[in-house]
Structure 1
């Protein structure tokens, strides 16, 4: 049986009365040193900030033992100091105090305020959002500058060793560059996209980190490894140059098509200037090396002689310095990030080698193509992530390209050790073979003739 209409009116009136006669609740306001009210504040990792705390609406607070407990939503990345705070000086219903917060790792956290009075705790409705970001250090700038200088010197060596006649032959029959292009700008983006969906189904930032690594052009390290592992240097440099300039078109195509399915936040600024500077940065040292080859042949021969040593030292320097400057990222490593880091380049090595073998390329060409397919310019992907994402997400997602950069050389290093071991074993066997007393004799024929 339906209730009379007057009961509905009574219920509505009661609710209205309760809402309009609700007692004024206490509130909390956060301020920084500039005395501006805060809803969000930023703290550098390993730094400490002082936050002023103003409570209002405390007219009913009579107990001088009332205390404030400041709580971090994630104590692993944000630490709160100077608490609990004793409420002992209320002036006209207001109380002023302060506490310190320290960022211990990258991320975002919330600060809550609980008031405890007579063993009863009540939480304020207001919260402070804290963003913990990384402070750029001098060592970061030194690392970037040293890499630019060393790579420039190395590309001068490449220019001195480059055979322009062979480059023309490569461009006339561009089978190698075409294989590398398909691997680099078709297979790698698709692999990174689906690998991201599988490994990070609920983490869009990590999907972006992997996808942006996959759509980046090949890196100059491919030329270095081609030299070390006996690949075709001329083919390697040609493929890297083509890949770098192709990135102007291919990166936006992938980002604005497949990329929008995982990154839907409006227009994404593609760093054309960064790619252009990188392309010029590759070409200018090469031209200097070619000029040395043309006008200073003795210097060019010396540069070619030390090319492999310089390449090896640069690889070692990059790996050690990159690990040292990004130690904080290792705290983010999970098995998914580990698999993503090794899966992207290692699968590409196999695909590049297999494709080159199917097209019956020479061994040194297969080596260069496989290396070119698997090595990405992780510096470009890191730059895009930091440009596209707000901090600290920009820094957090760079764990993916850093993981890829660390895992990329591992199979190449093992292959180098294998080649060295094989070479040493071959020399040992040749040294152990008996030397015939009469090299002109065949199967003892001369001995038989003498006996006759």
Structure 2
């Protein structure tokens, strides 16, 4: 167990570099990884199960005590990211599948790594955790609705089918995680330090599957999509902070909302795009998964230089 814990810490620390490395390997040897594509929903379910084992009622009590920061953050989450993706798709004149894929990742809930980034940046962790939890719970309704409204012009969107997919790969695994935590709390507590390793491996496999399936598309559209993803993530981080500042929230909450808005559950985006659109539509999610694990630590490093905060 000690060895696994050490491996978990190491992999989490160098996650961005590892994901880039496996993405490069998958690009040059796509046949080795393309078979993983059919298992993306299961891999995402594993990640969500791990998230469920970390969730408690205390995560939601923050909303009852101080609802304003969480509500402001959630409004920013589900407005800024989808609308920014929609605008970028038009400005950059993205092909229909890539445009729909970018909107889809923008409509996803907060990413699972955001809480760690908020902690490292000395942000308000309870607000971050509450935003991740609530946005995830709202995603079965809001994600397909937003995609239908904003991306329906590019590709046909099955609202009911997408809703059921999110229930299957998000809500059921999370619920099972919560139940397991309730039934065997000591075993779950002992396994918490190893869970990051499992999640990282699952995310790595999702990225390799999408990259392998899009090896040819990356040669023709990769730079365009990467530009869109970097701008999308950057605007999310900036607008999240600005909106929180405009609402007169303190610095710790500004940082929490900034990171929560900018970091998406790109694994969900990849799973939904692969299942309901095409492998090409999953490319923005895969690149987002790589990029936000680079931009997040960079932002953390910038904020941690200010020792007065």
| TM-score above 0.5 | yes
Q: Which residue of 2 aligns with 1:331?
A: 219
Structure 1 residues 407 and 292: alpha-carbon distance in aligned structure 2, compared to 1, 3 A threshold: same
TM-score, normalising length: structure 2: 0.71
Cα distance in 2, alignment partners of residues 241 and 270 from structure 1 = 23
Q: Distance in 2 between matches of 1:344 and 1:409?
A: 14
- Contact 2:44/2:268 (<8 A) preserved: no
Q: 1:235 to 1:199 in 2, by over 3 A?
A: same
Cα contact 2:101–2:273 (8 A) shared by 1: yes
Residue matched to 1:398: 282
Q: How does 1:12-27 map to 2 (within 5 A)?
A: none
Cα distance per residue 1:232-259 (max 9 Å; x no partner): 4432232123212322332343334333
SS of 1:216's equivalent? coil
RMSD of Structure 2 on Structure 1 (CA): 3.8
Contact 1:191 1:344 (8 Å CA) reproduced? yes
| Mapped pair 1:152 → 2:49 | yes
The counterpart of 1:359, out of the listed 247, 256, 259, is 247
Q: Which residue of 2 aligns with 1:221?
A: 113
Select the residue among 277, 284, 288 that pairs with 2:176. 284
Following the alignment from structure 1 to structure 2, what is the Cα–Cα distance between the partners of residues 335 and 323?
A: 17
User: Is 1:177 aligned with 2:70?
Assistant: yes
Native 8 Å contact 2:48 2:173 kept in 1: no
* Structure-2 separation of matches of 1:330 and 1:276: 31
Note the 1:274-313 alignment, pairs <5 A: 274-277=165-168, 278-289=170-181, 296=186, 300=189, 306=193, 311=196, 313=197
Q: Which has the higher contact order (CA 8 A, sep 6+)?
A: 2
Is the CA contact (8 Å cut-off) linking 1:209 and 1:400 kept in structure 2? yes
Quick one: structure 1 residues 333 and 182, their matched pair in 2 at CA, closer, same or farther if it must change by over 3 Å? Answer: same
CA deviation string 1:403-443 (max 9, x = no partner): 222211212122344577788xx9xxxxxxxxxxxxxxxxx
Sort the Cα spacing of 1:310 and 1:214 in 2 relative to 1 into closer, same or farther, 3 A.
same
The answer to whether 1:242 aligns with 2:139 is no
The CA distance in 2 between the partners of 1:349 and 1:317, in whole Å, is: 26
Change (3 A) 1:185 1:282: same
| 1:347, distance to aligned residue in structure 2 (A) | 0.9
Identify unmatched segments of 5+ residues in structure 1. Answer: 1-104, 106-132, 427-452
1:200–1:206 Cα contact (<8 Å) kept: no
Specify which of 401, 407, 412 is matched with residue 296 of structure 2.
412
SS of the residue corresponding to residue 280 of structure 1 reads: helix
Question: Structure 1 residues 317, 224: CA separation in 2 closer, same or farther (over 3 Å shift)?
Answer: farther
Higher helix share: 2
Q: Could you tell me whether the CA contact under 8 Å between 1:167 and 1:235 is conserved in 2?
A: no
Aligned counterpart for 1:341 among listed residues 229, 238, 262: 229
Distance 1:282 1:345, change over 3 A: farther
- Is residue 226–residue 371 contact of structure 1 (8 Å, CA) maintained in 2? yes
Q: How far apart, in 1, do the equivalents of 2:120 and 2:52 lie? A: 14
Q: How many residues align?
A: 275
Pick one of 197, 210, 226 that aligns with 2:90.
197
Cα distance, 1:290–1:210 mapped onto 2, change above 3 Å? same
- CA shift for structure 1 position 303: 6.6
Larger strand percent: 1
Larger Rg: 1
| Equivalent position of 1:386 in the other structure | 274
Is the 8 Å Cα contact of residues 350 and 370 (structure 1) preserved in structure 2? yes
Distance 2:178 2:118 in 1: 16
Whether the 8 Å contact between 1:269 and 1:387 is mirrored in structure 2 is no
User: Using the alignment, how far apart are the partners of 2:35 and 2:290 within structure 1?
Assistant: 22
CA offset at residue 310 of structure 1?
Answer: 5.5
